[in-house]
């Protein structure tokens, strides 16, 4: 009786709110071991907003008192230094979670901040006169959307040259950079007749010289002159699929055969459907015209001479229809099916992947589709995988097909699913044999023809806690499997950056070779 009463009394107590009694202390230092004074240290929830902020003292010492027991992350920052989270091992990863309990004092939450580097120099014209207001930026070679291109470094802003033609690009991590300078944009009148020029003074990105900066090692004297180029005008007409001219809706960008990912360029357009791109430097370009739902392309090669009479005619788009059939015991869940027509050439990608509408009876429809495309089963229900895509008895599973006009539409496409699924399973271990989970396992085809953008033969998987992996549904074929550094997350790095042909070639040399056949489960042991 008494025990029951006591337990009832205990149940009635309201839960105690955690008191704010923990303390977190640490020190911010430079890479040479000296204290870094007056850094800003921020205390944030492990997955959430900032809780508090303080400034470290002259010895780099900081303290957060009266902290509620919880899980946190800390970040230290200071102008001129790399901002780091506590316990951040690599630039692309987050730092450690700092958990504190009631009354606990957590010490030694220390930071070592490397200094940012800078690149400085002067931009002149071909006469040696300073150029003011030129936009100078650093770029790095990146692989994205199936092509290697120069792209801006995330988190860094371009700077403009001052009245002496001088610039200073700062906030750089150690590395190799391409320095690019440009005035205005192609298509505007801001000092026309100059191409984007790369240090040491060439408009050809392949000839650009990399500028190396180390930790706290600035690069000075990165001077170069803008290259005057003979620019040309591109003139033509935009027409709809029925031959009617239309105004506007025309833009131009560098073709993927050129190494730069330039910005889109604008044109002078007129009511009679004619357009004009002034000041275009030499190179290969793709002109894209769009009107309502129609889209069309034209590739031009510019070489200093004006181009006239370029016709860009839009297409209304094609339709793809058919049905999903399945070889297996049960019926798959229609809602877990995702089918799309994905672009096969980034120059003609239009509005991106075209998703299919899959109906209750497993018939489907995709449309309108424009440009060269492949059919791709982006997602299959658990326990199912794609066996083949068939059209008129032919296997078109990885075939590139052209779309755009109504007479290019396809009917009776058959998407065949099977419940006999391949499995690639295994373990990743480090050199001592202990499970390694802090990595990514990449899987890519041995056959280079199968390494196209968006290919179904590419896969990545992150090992579970014990280093175990299990990848279901890879298509039949021979693969390289390799465990690599955890792939970076975050803005600016595209998902498919690891598919850079050069990176794959290097990975292939140390990878395990695996052949998967229908329904097989193959096991691998990978060394990190």
Partner 1 sequence: MRRAASLFVLLGAAALHAQPPPPPPPPPHDALQTRPLTGTGTIRGRVIADDGDEPLRKARVVIGGPTSIPPGFTDDQGRFAFTKLPAGQYALTARKAGYAAAAFGSRHPGEPPMRIDLAAGGTVDGVDVRMMRGAAISGRLVDEFGEAIENAAVFAERVVRVAGRTSTTSQASTLSDDLGEYRLGGLPSGTYVVIARVARPPMITAAGGTIVFGGPDVARSRTYYPGVVALAAAQRIDVQTGEERSAVDFGVLAARALARLTLSFVDAKGNPTDAISTLSSGDSDAGGVTIGIPSMGTRTSTRVEPGTWMVYATGAAGVGISSVTIGSDDVAMTMALTKGGRISGRVIADGGHLPPGAAVEIEAQPSTVWMQPLLARGSIARTGSDGAFQLKDLLGARQLRVRSAPPGWLTKAILYDGRSLLDASIEFKGGEELSGVQVVLTDRHAELSGIVVDARQTPLQRYSVVVFPEDEQLLRDPRRLARLVRPNQAGQFRIDDLLPGTYCVAAVSDVDSSQWLNADYLARFRPIAIRIAVAESEKKNVVLSLVDTP
Interacting positions 30-49 with partner 1 (CB under 8 A): 37-38, 42, 44-45, 47-49
Q: Does 174 bind partner 1 (CB under 8 A)?
A: no
Task: Name residue 285's beta-bridge partners.
Answer: 254, 300
CB 182 within 8 A of CB 203: no
Sign of CA dihedral 181, 184, 187, 189: negative
CB of 207 to partner 1, least distance (A): 25
Starting from the edge strand earliest in sequence, which strands make up the sheet with 283-291, in order? Answer: 250-254, 283-291, 294-302
Q: Interacting stretch for partner 1, rule CB under 8 A, among 73-81, 174-182, 379-387, 469-477?
A: 73-81
Site string for partner 1, 228-247 (x = CB under 8 A): --------------------
Cα Rg for the chain, rounded, in angstroms?
29
DSSP symbol at 157: -
In the window 78-107, what residues touch partner 1 (CB under 8 A)? 78-80, 82-85, 88, 90-94
Half-sphere exposure of 314 (CA within 13 A, CB side): 25
Segment near partner 1 (CB under 8 A), from 25-33, 161-169, 201-209, 333-341? Answer: 161-169
User: With binding defined as CB under 8 A, does residue 27 bind partner 1?
Assistant: no
Q: Give CA–CA dist 454/524, Å, rounded.
A: 25
Check: CB of residue 450 under 8 Å from CB of residue 486: no
CB of 266 to partner 1, least distance (A): 4
* Interface pattern 311-350 for partner 1 (x via CB under 8 A): ----------------------------------------
User: Under the criterion CB under 8 A, does residue 214 sit at the interface with partner 1?
Assistant: no
**From 158, 191, 388, 437, residue interacting with partner 1 (rule: CB under 8 A):** 191
Question: Are 384 and 420 in contact, with CB atoms under 8 Å apart?
Answer: no
Minimum CB distance to partner 1 smaller for 46 or for 508 = 46
The answer to whether 272 contacts partner 1 (rule: CB under 8 A) is no
The residues in 364-393 that bind partner 1, with binding defined as CB under 8 A, are none
Min CB(172)–partner 1 separation in Å: 10
**Contact status: 267 vs partner 1 (CB under 8 A):** yes
Bond from prior residue into 200 cis (ω within 30 degrees of 0)? yes
What does the longest C-alpha to C-alpha distance in the chain come to? 102
Count of residues interacting with partner 1 (CB under 8 A): 74
Distance from C-alpha of 69 to C-alpha of 116, rounded to nearest angstrom: 34
Q: Does 135 help bind partner 1 (rule: CB under 8 A)? A: no
């Amino acid at each position: 009786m008494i025990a029951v009463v006591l337990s009832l009394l205990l149940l009635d107590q309201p839960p105690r709110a955690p008191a704010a009694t923990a303390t977190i202390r640490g020190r911010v230092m430079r890479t040479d071991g000296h204290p870094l004074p007056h850094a800003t240290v921020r205390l944030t929830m492990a997955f959430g907003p900032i809780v508090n902020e303080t400034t470290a003292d002259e010895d780099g010492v900081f303290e957060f008192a009266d902290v509620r027991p919880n899980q946190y992350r800390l970040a230290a920052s200071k102008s001129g230094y790399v901002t780091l989270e506590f316990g951040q091992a690599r630039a692309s990863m987050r730092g450690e979670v700092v958990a504190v309990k009631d009354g606990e004092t957590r010490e030694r939450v220390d930071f070592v901040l490397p200094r940012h580097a800078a690149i400085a120099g002067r931009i002149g014209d071909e006469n040696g006169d300073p150029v003011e207001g030129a936009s100078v930026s650093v770029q790095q070679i990146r692989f994205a959307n199936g092509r290697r291109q120069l792209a801006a470094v995330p988190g860094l802003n371009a700077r403009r040259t001052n009245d002496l033609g001088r610039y200073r690009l700062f906030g750089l991590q150690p590395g190799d950079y391409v320095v690019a300078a440009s005035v205005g944009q192609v298509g505007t009148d801001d000092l026309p007749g100059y191409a984007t020029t790369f240090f040491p003074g060439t408009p050809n990105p392949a000839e650009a010289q990399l500028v190396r900066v180390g930790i706290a090692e600035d690069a000075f004297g990165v001077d170069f002159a803008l290259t005057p180029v003979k620019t040309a005008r591109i003139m033509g007409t935009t027409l709809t699929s029925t031959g009617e001219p239309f105004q506007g809706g025309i833009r131009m960008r560098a073709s993927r055969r050129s190494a730069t990912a330039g910005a889109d360029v604008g044109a002078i357009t007129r009511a009679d459907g004619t357009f004009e791109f002034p000041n275009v430097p030499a190179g290969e370009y793709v002109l894209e015209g769009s009107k309502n739902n129609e889209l069309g392309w034209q590739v031009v090669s510019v070489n200093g001479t004006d181009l006239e009479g370029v016709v860009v005619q839009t297409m209304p788009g094609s339709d793809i229809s058919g049905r999903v059939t399945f070889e297996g015991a049960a019926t798959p869940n229609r809602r877990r099916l995702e089918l799309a027509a994905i672009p096969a050439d980034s120059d003609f990608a239009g509005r991106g992947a075209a998703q299919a509408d899959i109906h209750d009876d497993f018939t489907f429809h995709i449309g309108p589709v424009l440009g060269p495309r492949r059919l791709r089963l982006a997602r299959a229900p658990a326990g199912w995988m794609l066996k083949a895509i068939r059209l008129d008895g032919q296997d078109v599973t990885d075939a590139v097909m052209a779309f755009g006009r109504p007479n290019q539409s396809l009917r009776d496409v058959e998407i065949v699913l099977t419940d006999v699924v391949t499995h690639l399973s295994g373990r990743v271990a480090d050199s001592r044999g202990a499970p390694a989970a802090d990595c990514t396992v990449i899987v890519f085809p041995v056959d280079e023809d199968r390494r196209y953008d968006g290919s179904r033969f590419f896969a990545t998987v992150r090992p579970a806690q014990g280093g175990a992996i299990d990848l279901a549904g890879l298509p039949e074929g021979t693969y390289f499997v390799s465990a690599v550094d955890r792939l970076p997350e975050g803005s600016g790095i595209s998902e498919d950056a690891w598919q850079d042909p050069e990176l794959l070639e290097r990975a292939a040399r140390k990878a395990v070779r695996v052949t998967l056949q229908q329904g097989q489960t193959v096991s691998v042991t990978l060394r990190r």
